Amino acid sequence: MNKNELLPHLFRTEYRKITSVLYRHFGFEHPEIAEDIASDTFLTAAETWGLKGLPDNPVAWLYTVARNRAKDYLRRNKLFEQKISPALQTSEINWEEMEIDLSDEHIRDSQLQLMFAICQPILPPEAQIGLALRILCGFGIDEIADAFLSNKETINKRLFRAKEKLRDQQVKIAFPPPPEVNTRIRAVLTTLYLLFNEGYYSTSKDTTLRKDLCLEAMRLTYLLIENENTNLPDANALMALMCFHASRFDARTDDNGEMIRYDEQDTSLWNDELITRGNYYLNTASKGTDVNKYHLEAAIAYWHTVKADTVKKWESILQLYNRLLQINYSPIAALNRTYALYKARGKQEAIIEAEKLQLNDNHLYHVLLGHLYTGTDTPTATRHLQTALKLAKTTTEKSRIRKDLEKLTQF
């Protein structure tokens, strides 16, 4: 990885770790402190590395600068001198000598505590998730807007109100007591689910797959599984889902970063180790009594790792989608069910069901219909693919659709 690629990569992997530790120190009372110090650390890196070249250990360099910036702030900031320090005069803590701990263990504890501190019942679910994506995961406003199918102005207002609420309620960054874990883990899992999805099918960048986001989501989910209080069936089901999807990373894109559709993937590139891990977590998840969307989506993802293209496979996937839509309907899940219906029972039945969905603003809807009409109704297939081309957001998506249109000349 060259210098131009390294810093953006480190921003994705380290910014959120640094921010989590700093939030744990400064709390929600002054959230801008943690974010400003973390941002200034990476700005300094961009300036210094551009002039002097890369340090021997870039991550350690970032941690050292962040630690020094935080300690400098504690020493000189007027807010600290006038408000925080007097309140701590009776405390035995020496803030001047306080160490900003950026060890792996402390980062893990800080991120786990921050996940649950943000996912407070005093905030609406969409505010919990948006704030966690912003602070804990380092998402940009555009990415959060994409995840919520919203706009930047709405997201900015939502995050501002959420921070104000946490500040006014004096929410502490600490792990919740056991009785509260089950009520707050749902928003935590949804946040990690959205993070993985943004990486697995990116909408805000000209790339089909962003492995760094997927791997970060898996790492954070693993934090939950490592902790005995959060090692719950739902967390294991989500981890299984991620492992199954991640097992097909190498087969999902070509050398140009363009998406390879499922039925065209080289199955020899699927990662057997991740499939095995996915099976382990899915079996662990089955020890509970409840079945939710993560269990069903993980089971669907498992069947997608079965290499044999049989009616039994697709009928199993179809039935799982039927259950999923009953407990957690979503247009995309309904669209995916239609593909399984086609594979299990043929194009005609799938076309009837697909056209009922009327997802006219979704390019994947038109891609699917273009595929279903290919070979039987070329004009209709062409019309849907042309519409998909207009709606597609990324360069890679548009390139793939153009190739589909070129293939239609064969019919």
DSSP string, 2-40: -HHHHHHHHHHHHHHHHHHHHHHHHTTTSHHHHHHHHHH
Report how many domains make up the chain: 1
In a domain, 339, yes or no: no
In a domain, 150, yes or no: no
Sign for the CA dihedral angle at 82, 63, 30, 152 comes to positive
Nearest to 335 by CA among 306, 302, 371, 298: 371
In a domain, 61, yes or no: yes
- Identify the DSSP state of 81: I
In a domain, 83, yes or no: yes
Global pTM value:
0.83
In a domain, 52, yes or no: yes
In a domain, 68, yes or no: yes
Q: Quick one: pLDDT at residue 90?
A: 42
| Tokens linked to 391 | 């709606």
pLDDT tens readout for residues 49-102: 988 999 999 999 999 999 999 888 877 765 555 555 555 444 444 444 456 788
Q: Quick one: pLDDT at residue 86?
A: 57
CA-CA distance, 140 to 147, in Å (whole number)? Answer: 11
Nearest to 10 by CA among 55, 73, 69: 55
Burial class (CB in 10 A: 0-12, 13-18, 19+), 300: buried
Positions of the chain with pLDDT under 70: 1-3, 77-99, 202-209, 411
CA-CA distance, 175 to 185, in Å (whole number)? Answer: 11
Rg (CA), the chain: 24
pLDDT tens readout for residues 322-343: 999 999 999 999 999 999 999 9
Q: Quick one: pLDDT at residue 91?
A: 42
Q: Which domain does 79 fall in, by range? A: 1-102
In a domain, 343, yes or no: no
Query: How far does CA 280 lie from the centroid of its chain?
Result: 22
In a domain, 394, yes or no: no
The distance between the two most distant Cα atoms of the chain, rounded to a whole number of Å, is 83
Nearest to 173 by CA among 227, 114, 105, 102: 114
Asked whether the beta carbons of 252 and 259 are under 8 A apart, the reply is: yes
